[in-house]
Amino acid sequence: MRSNTNTFDVDVPALPTNNGHRPPDSASADDITAVRQVVEDLVHNHGKQVIVLMHSYGVNLAGRENLVQFAADGTWFPVDPAQLLYQDLTPKDQQEQTKLLKWGNAAILAGNATYAAWKDVPALYVRSTEDRWLPPEFQDFCLQTAADAGASVEVSALKSGHSPYVEFADRIADMTFGVGSLYGGGQTTLEQAK
């Protein structure tokens, strides 16, 4: 990943719950283990500083079940990805991004977190003002919950749909480097867990 003036090393650990297997053969604990192994290796064996960049994982859809189709095998898929996740992109980008989606393990939509790192680690939240999947009002509710819990969350906003990393990759890289230089300086390694 490259910002205007800096370069990040990027590791993208594959999340077992997003492997497309039907029926699912993994749980959110497996995702945690996959990310933890990569981060621990980078920190302990390679002396790297790590920033974890995450995107839309395990949101409880209570009351919003109409956004997804659930299959009898315990998997789920967005009802209309082009309009819910990528409506602000060109038709070509919508098609490309939709092809990357896989049926996911439905259990992550209702699971409880075992640890909320955002309570202890400074965080940057990129608020997507045109998001149809997680509307701005829902994002604001989550941000207020974090503030009420005493979390240190810096908020930036982009006029984007649910997937700003497609249209605004350079801006997100700059924001990420900014966070990295605030909390560690020097060479920064970016871990992307999405």
What percent of the chain has a predicted confidence (pLDDT) above 70? 85
What was the pLDDT predicted at 193? Answer: 30
Cα distances (angstroms) measured from residue 45 to each of 41, 113, 128, 177, 180? 5, 27, 36, 22, 20
Task: Please list, residue by residue across 170-191, b when 16 or more beta carbons sit within 10 angstroms of its beta carbon and e when fewer do.
Answer: ebbbbbbbebbeeeeeeebbbb
> What pTM did the predictor assign?
0.80
Q: What is the full per-residue pLDDT of the chain (194 aa) written as tens digits?
A: 544 556 778 888 999 998 999 999 998 889 989 999 999 999 999 998 888 888 887 666 666 678 889 999 999 899 999 999 999 999 999 999 999 999 988 888 776 777 888 888 888 899 999 999 999 999 999 899 999 999 888 899 999 999 999 999 999 988 888 877 766 544 333 333 32
What was the pLDDT predicted at 168? Answer: 95
- Which among 13, 16, 14, 12 is positioned nearest to 107, based on CA atoms? 16
